[in-house]
Structure 1
């Protein structure tokens, strides 16, 4: 293999640039040509492709977002769209592709692999919702952004003696809410993977209020429902003054943490190694701090799970 491509797809995540940098520099170190594909699979179909060199990825390891930009493409899900992408790969002589993104991006990569163009997936999403890897690129940075916000909201909650609902991202996964709730000392954590008894939440708030507790913080994952709806229900039931903060897209931005930079560098370099070994149709990941790789089919067949021990601990510590 002499020429490889790299693209980012789906939602952006801090650390994607560090992964791009690792792919480009690792490939050039091994005398491969690297081509950056802008705007994800949409850019692939449109031929928005250019060769990258060492200077192309200079001074980007600390930057959030992605210099290759990202886009979602419904057209690429079709046979016609995939064939358009393959035509562009052939035009530039690209023999293998590294796709940095989440589950949807990997499904596109799998389709290309099935059509003779080996692809390796690098998990980049703040949601941490991909099986086969302990962590995804961007999760740690987003988590720290949330914790910083929780700490600031707590200052206000304490000053005004209020209950605060903080809604965080994560789609259908509760990792961000769980980890941030445990790290931020939340009284309750609501995640899609666990059905929380509303009366138990109310009782916990009342017990705290009765013993003189001046404020409470509740972390709610967006996959559970609306923070505003839940906050209104809490206030009506407890008569405690309640406010809601929806953190939104601030969670996807910012300079990546050292943890995300190192993770992205390791995964990006490993992806290049797999292509050099003529492997395709796999995702690289990390488990127990060791790099691993699994076929896409295995990844798709598994469902995301939370850390049960952490969830139980959060309930024990929030008495």
Structure 2
């Protein structure tokens, strides 16, 4: 493709040969790029062309023009959903998914916090039940920010478990297995290279894996939570429906365990004047990267405030 050059003013105004220049930028991007993070790659190229683009906390006009062009080109594929992994939750006998937005919000409408909850259903929730829901919502919100420190390949099992629970009893066995996989992988992330647990013992989070965890000098995890998530590998193939209560309990216990495990990881330091993260770390899951940055900043500012759910 023919080389296209534009002035800083054209970039700032999105005018002149801006469209042709962006086509030239797109042409030079990696063929295996992720549309969700293409903005960062594009800005890197544009900066190397000698143009100024501010993509920090305060995005300048040039960055906004580039972002708008890429969104127009890639459409929904360029969209990053700013919500933490959903948590399956039961309200008045029905199963829903709890949605916690990033950045964190102090006041969230009940029909936003609980996906697909209608106004009628929200109005029927008693004051006592709403308080319990709000308390659980806050606990899970805090836990998910801790969990954002874990690898995307670990967190995907937490996401999958919630979706499978929502799909119904036929998928509860798979939900239990994903729940166990989430905790198992999270624990193994922190094990030194010299300590490993393989074979059938590699799934025993309350036995062999926890023993390896302790041998690595890590703090003991609550055995009652480990008991909740433990299951046989045969649950993946079982034609017998798993109970909803134990499936949901295992799911929620895995969230609590995930937070406890992640607290042992080295995290971003938000006390510095500048907080940066490498693009290579962002690509696997942009949302988790954004959550880690917000968590680092919030710790310095005194921690999270309580979230209230409004009707």
TM-score, with length taken from structure 2: 0.28
Higher strand share: 1
Structure with greater helix percent? 2
Higher relative contact order (CA 8 A, sep 6+): 1
